[in-house]
């Protein structure tokens, strides 16, 4: 067992499968005590099953690590409070929270049902806010009591949110909101000794496998294995990352990068007459950097 995250107490939500499972396993491998949270639902959020979380805990313990299971619905405000409390009551404190739980209900905007919008926004946005609120409240109380805090809040966005992907207005909007949430929370919580960062992971999991065009080869599976994302999360959860906050990291088996957020582009003095705006706006758009495509590079420019 490595000592890189020795005795760090870390909650990972959605850790029963896929990316979250790899986070939990690597954190435990490096000495962290892990609370493995997973409601155990299907990829659309339906159903509950403690089996996946229990299985990950058993795997960690079989390798000599420390872990406990938690089946809270992260979008339930009181259940999220209980999850934070479980970590503190079991291990005496909380050092890091990794908000990873999520669902998919993809649909083009004109076909999307209200419940498909509400479910995705609830799990991703409220499911990030609720655990983060209770963890941040705990860290603030500890800081005000004179305790030295070296804590981490690690959220999960997506290239669908920060770059945009057709068919995912609900998911993309939630993930873009989480990226903004991260930047804002980093500015609020720094005074208490808490860093806040965000991961935009790229991997083949049960949420994404059937979204891939064509046959998935062994080479693709290796390049998009969830295990490639675990190192940056493990590093961010460690004591070594205390000087990095408010950033979004794109991570996959192909790239590790910092995503750059919105910046003001070309500008002019305000214009009161809307009939004059056509050539002015076209000049601004023509001078501006193109929107990024899903690969994070300039692709999708234009007025449309």
What is the crossing angle of helices 169-189 and 114-121, to 10°?
A: 30
- 69 strand-pairing partners: 36
Is 171 designated active site? yes
Distance CA(135)–CA(158), nearest Å, equals 23
Strands 151-156, 194-201: pairing kind: parallel
Other Cβ atoms within 10 Å of 173 Cβ, number: 17
251, 202 contact by CB (below 8 A):
yes
Distance CA(289)–CA(292), nearest Å, equals 9
CA max distance for the chain: 71
Distance CA(101)–CA(88), nearest Å, equals 20
53, 71 contact by CB (below 8 A):
yes
Distance CA(238)–CA(9), nearest Å, equals 10
Please identify which of the residues 23, 91, 163, 171 carries the catalytic annotation. 171
Distance CA(291)–CA(163), nearest Å, equals 8
Q: What is the DSSP string of 10-75?
A: EEETT-SSHHHHHHHHHHHHTT-EEEEE-----TTS----SHHHHHHHHHHHHTT-EEEEE---TT
Structural tokens at position 154:
């690690």
- Annotated active-site positions, please? 171
């Amino acid at each position: 067992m490595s000592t890189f995250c020795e005795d760090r107490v870390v909650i990972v939500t959605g850790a029963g499968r896929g990316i979250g499972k790899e986070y939990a396993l690597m954190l435990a491998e490096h000495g962290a005590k892990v609370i493995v949270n997973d409601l155990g639902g299907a990829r659309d959020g339906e159903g509950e099953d403690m089996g996946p979380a229990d299985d990950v805990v058993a795997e960690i313990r079989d390798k000599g690590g420390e872990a406990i299971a938690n089946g809270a619905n992260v979008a339930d405000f009181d259940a999220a409070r209980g999850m934070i409390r479980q970590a503190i009551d079991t291990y005496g404190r909380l050092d890091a929270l990794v908000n990873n739980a999520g669902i998919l209900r993809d649909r083009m905007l004109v076909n999307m049902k209200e419940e498909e919008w509400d479910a995705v926004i609830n799990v991703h946005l409220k499911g990030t806010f609720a655990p983060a609120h209770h963890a941040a409240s705990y860290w603030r109380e500890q800081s005000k009591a004179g305790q030295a805090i070296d804590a981490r809040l690690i959220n999960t966005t997506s290239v669908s949110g920060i770059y945009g992907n057709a068919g995912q207005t609900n998911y993309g909007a939630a993930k873009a909101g989480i990226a903004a949430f991260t930047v804002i929370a980093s500015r609020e919580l720094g005074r208490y000794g808490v860093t806040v960062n965000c991961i935009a992971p790229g991997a083949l999991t049960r949420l994404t496998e059937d979204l891939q065009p064509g046959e998935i080869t062994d080479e693709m599976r290796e390049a998009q294995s969830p295990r490639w994302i675990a190192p940056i999360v493990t590093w961010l959860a460690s004591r070594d990352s205390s000087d990095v906050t408010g950033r979004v990291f794109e991570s996959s088996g192909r790239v590790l990068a910092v995503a750059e957020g919105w910046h003001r582009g070309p500008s002019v003095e305000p214009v009161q007459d809307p009939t004059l705006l056509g050539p002015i706006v076209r000049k601004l758009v023509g001078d501006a950097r193109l929107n990024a495509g899903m690969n994070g590079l300039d692709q999708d420019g234009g007025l449309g």
